[in-house]
Amino acid sequence: MSDAQGVVSGPGPLQRKPGLEETSFHMENAVPIGGRQAPPCTAVIFGAAGDLTARKLIPAFYNLAKQRLLPSNFAVIGFARREYDDASFREYLESELKGHAPGGFDASVWKWLSERIHYVCGNFDDTEAYVRLGATLAATEKQHGTRGNVLYYLATSPEFFSICARQLASNGLAQEQTGSWRRVIVEKPFGRDLKTARELDKQLHSVLTESQIYRIDHYLGKETVQNIMVFRFSNGIFEPIWNRRYIDHVQITVAETLGVEKRGGYYDKSGAMRDMVPNHIFQLISLVAMEPPVSFQADAVRDEQAKVLRAIQPMTPEDVLSRTVRGQYAAGQVGGRMLPDYRAEPNVTPESATETYVAMKLGIDNWRWTDVPFYLRVGKALAARSTEIAIQFKRPPFVLFRNTAVDKLSPNTLVLRIQPDEGISLKFGAKVPGATLRLGSVDMDFDYSEHFGAQPATGYERLLYDGMLGDQTLFQRADMLEASWAVVNPVLDVWNALPPRNFPNYHAGTNGPREADQLLERDGRAWRPIK
């Protein structure tokens, strides 16, 4: 991972150039907060008129500027079909940023950034538009001194990924000249199945090298996810018990309260499995289950992640029927508001068989994890918004407590909370004060915002920063994606062959379908409450 840092005990003040006033923002000679400044470059965002740019990417660049992590020789070029010029594009982004900038809007920071924002109007398959983009890049390099370094971000629909890459290459915009670099960030979904993932990878590799391809998963930008490796490998008390001798099972939960909102057209073709499991969920599994890498260099880390993904036991059709659950939400109340049936959402087929909930039981067939089940669940319109990884340890022998008032021992549980409240908690037993021997559960709780102070973040800052630095540690490699799809494909094949008969099978605002509870009950276990 990039920019190794020292021990931090709490929040620190914003470090500014001496004499810098709030109304005047400069990057020259500024002291970066927690790292080094990225090298000079231009960021080109394809699909720049979409929500991702306005809600996440521009706010992320804005936050990087506030932290003095952007270079003074920096620029952004938006590329989209909507008819903006530089001025109207900046006005649009400013109006959006005022509503989406974590930590509040600072006019001086925005002024610095907006002066570096430009726009090119064109279709993604229009060669003339790429000629205009090339001319704008040349002018931007001359004006802002970006030295020919370009970070392309494909914030487009998946069908345009290979089109944009081919156009960049054929117009000479992807070629790395001596002393400069060209990198391409590709958004998910990366294919719909193993076959299409391989085809897309083949198309990208026909015009780009693997070192130029950055397959982004925004979950890996979250602090707790990045902290999994640090937590495991920098604390001597956890790694010795991080194995099948001491761990009973692992639960991974990604629960959302929202329905599909305005994404019905996309979601009805994708579903919860394709949307979440081969990328977000499997990335979390690989970080929890990987062996210690020889270093934090990108390929050393990703080598170990790939080994875990290849070790996940493939499912037979019988396994799919007994170890997977799919669900679709019906109307219900979530957080005081009513959600309609999924099938009644805009742009969703009235008889849709698309799943909005997935639960699975996976096994990892290696020396560390054999016989330790990994349970995962992901769903929309659930009771609460919560993303967490729960490691439940085995219960100790009960023999010492047989002649006491204690009737059972609760297992120790380590919970890594990813959102909305990032932190870590450890549950253990302690004696309740009094004359008799009674046990109570105690939680040791660590909250990121309370200890280190809340830092403005969208979740994309680290990933964009690493893309500019050329650090691929938090980006997926081609073999990792193939290994993930190899696990998911057999499940999708069975589901396609056997359409669900009971959809919808859970109400919005609940914990999901009853079949998901039964998946764990058959093993004598239970899901943690979603809260």
Catalytically annotated residues: 280
The answer to whether the beta carbons of residues 446 and 425 sit under 8 Å apart is yes
Indicate the length of the chain as a whole number. 531
Round to whole Å and give the CA distance between 30 and 452.
Answer: 22
Alpha carbons 51 and 327: distance in angstroms, whole number: 28
d(CA 124, CA 200): 17
Alpha helices in 364-505 (DSSP H): 448-452, 461-469, 478-497
Q: What is the full DSSP assignment across 333-346? A: EETTEEE--GGGST
Answer whether 381's CB lies under 8 Å from 267's CB.
no
Distance CA 274, CA 192 (A): 7
Q: What CA–CA distance (Å, rounded) separates 390 from 253?
A: 8
Amino acid, res. 164: C
Would you give the distance in Å from CA 78 to the centre of its chain?
A: 23
Q: Is 334 exposed, middle or buried (0-12, 13-18, 19+ CB in 10 A)?
A: buried
Cβ atoms of 328 and 356 closer than 8 Å: yes
Q: How far apart are CA 331 and CA 326, in angstroms?
A: 17
- Which residues fall within 8 angstroms of residue 503, CB to CB, at 6 or more apart? 327, 328, 352, 353
CB within 8 A of 260, min separation 6: which ones? 267, 268, 342, 345, 348, 356, 380
Q: CA nearest 8: which of 29, 33, 41?
A: 33
Distance CA 285, CA 276 (A): 12
- Give the side-chain half-sphere CA count within 13 A for 449: 12
How distant is the alpha carbon of residue 525 from its chain centre? Answer: 28
Question: What 3-state class would DSSP assign to 445?
Answer: strand
Alpha carbons within 13 angstroms on the beta-carbon side of residue 306 total: 15
